[in-house]
């Protein structure tokens, strides 16, 4: 089992927090380690945000709890009443992220008020400060490596998009279409899962972008493009479910899909393409029924060309500065696919 960087940073922050708490003779010292776990978030921005929120909640809970313990006592009903009041305040202020911590601080403060002779609130607050600061500092030493994960998901998404076009083109070549449900739909859902995961990771990158303002690329931009492209692939596949594969238009569509794939490969190599000419060639209104052929037979092809044209329009706008797929892997992937199907 592989251990991620976040796990390593969490373990380190726990050890340092407990060591500092023991050095300052704070009780219970292990509470600092528990708090430090909350500070190691997927992004530095979230770590800082959680630190400020948790510190404010801990301060409120500690002061309220020590006042209740000194004035009324450390009875169980007092602990329950204070916990209820703290939860009500946090829900009212919509600060539920730090609600659990505030309740724990309150219970620990009242529970240790006798042993610490009135310093319970001080100890609890200091433990929270130590845990949050140590966890945040450790998280900032080595920023979360989300960019690498984003690139892997981008590569998978783009590769699967081309693979789906290969499948559709191959189906047309052999004169049969793979049923949309469930085979093609499952493949499309797989690409969607890559895209959704990538969008989540891009959100984390966007949160920490203030740490690297020189980054020229907007995180998540390509995933939004791929999201539209996979919808067009779905439209293409569904349209061809009703197409007459005996129509001469099938051969033209085979060539159009092949050209689309080659153009996409060219874009992913960082080269320029004449997208205007391609979109013009894919205009649905260019369809003409052959001799003895009903115009209604061409309607699925009309929809297919429309989806393919919108697909091309999407990938031609890809930001060239964020391309990373090598031309060798693209060519080898296409050749391997057709060797497999041969």
Tokens of 244: 């007459």
Q: What is the model's pLDDT at position 325?
A: 42
Q: Annotate 93-120 with DSSP letters as a single string.
A: TT-GGGHHHHHHHHHHHHHTTTTTTT-H
Q: Are 67 and 163 in contact (CB under 8 A)?
A: no
For residue 62 the two structure tokens come to 């500690």
| Cis before 225 (ω within 30) | no
Cα distance between residue 307 and residue 234, in whole Å: 9
Q: Residues 191-239: pLDDT tens digits?
A: 899 888 888 877 777 766 655 555 555 556 788 888 889 999 999 999 8
Q: Which residues contact 195 (CB under 8 A, 6 or more apart)?
A: 153, 157, 223, 226, 227, 230
Cα distance between residue 60 and residue 67, in whole Å: 11
- pLDDT of 126: 84
Alpha-helix runs per DSSP H in the chain: 5-23, 30-39, 44-71, 76-92, 99-111, 120-141, 146-174, 185-207, 221-240, 249-268, 275-281, 299-315, 327-341
46-77 confidence digits (pLDDT tens)? 666 767 787 788 888 888 888 888 788 878 88
pLDDT tens-place string over residues 104-120: 888 887 877 666 556 77
The DSSP secondary-structure symbol of 121 reads H
Mean pLDDT to the nearest integer, 248-261: 86
Does residue 110 or residue 80 have the better pLDDT?
80
pLDDT value, residue 338: 41
Query: From residue 240, how far is each of 31, 174, 193 by CA, in Å?
Result: 62, 14, 24
- Residue 331 has what pLDDT? 40
pLDDT of residue 114: 67
């Amino acid at each position: 089992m592989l251990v991620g960087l976040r796990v390593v940073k969490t373990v380190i922050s726990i050890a340092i927090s407990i060591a500092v708490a023991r050095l300052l003779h704070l009780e219970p010292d292990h509470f600092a380690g528990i708090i430090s776990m909350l500070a190691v978030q997927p992004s530095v921005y979230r770590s800082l945000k959680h630190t400020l929120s948790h510190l404010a909640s801990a301060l409120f809970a500690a002061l309220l709890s020590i006042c209740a313990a000194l004035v009324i006592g450390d009875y169980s009903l007092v602990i329950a009443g204070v916990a209820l009041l703290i939860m009500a305040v946090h829900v009212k202020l919509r600060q539920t992220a730090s609600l659990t911590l505030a309740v724990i601080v309150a219970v620990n403060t009242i529970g240790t008020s006798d042993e610490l002779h009135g310093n319970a609130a001080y100890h609890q607050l200091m433990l929270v400060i130590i845990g949050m600061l140590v966890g945040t500092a450790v998280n900032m030493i080595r920023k979360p490596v989300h960019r690498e994960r984003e690139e892997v998901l981008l590569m998978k998404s783009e590769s699967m998009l081309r693979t789906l076009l290969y499948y559709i083109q191959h189906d047309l070549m052999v004169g049969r279409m793979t049923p949309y449900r469930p085979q093609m739909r499952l493949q499309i859902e797989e690409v969607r899962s890559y895209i959704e995961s990538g969008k989540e990771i891009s959100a984390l990158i966007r949160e920490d972008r203030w740490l690297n303002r020189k980054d020229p690329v907007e995180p998540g931009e390509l995933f939004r493009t791929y999201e539209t492209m996979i919808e067009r692939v779905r439209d293409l596949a569904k349209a061809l479910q009703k197409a007459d594969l005996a129509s001469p238009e099938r051969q033209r569509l085979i060539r159009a899909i092949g050209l689309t794939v080659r153009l996409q490969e060219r874009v992913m190599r960082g080269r320029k393409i004449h997208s205007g000419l391609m979109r013009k060639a894919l205009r649905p209104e260019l369809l003409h029924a052959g001799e003895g052929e009903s115009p209604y037979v061409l309607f699925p092809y009309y929809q297919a060309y429309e989806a393919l044209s919108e697909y091309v329009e999407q990938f031609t706008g890809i930001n060239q500065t964020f391309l990373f797929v090598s031309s060798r892997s693209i060519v080898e992937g296409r050749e391997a696919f057709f060797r497999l199907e041969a």
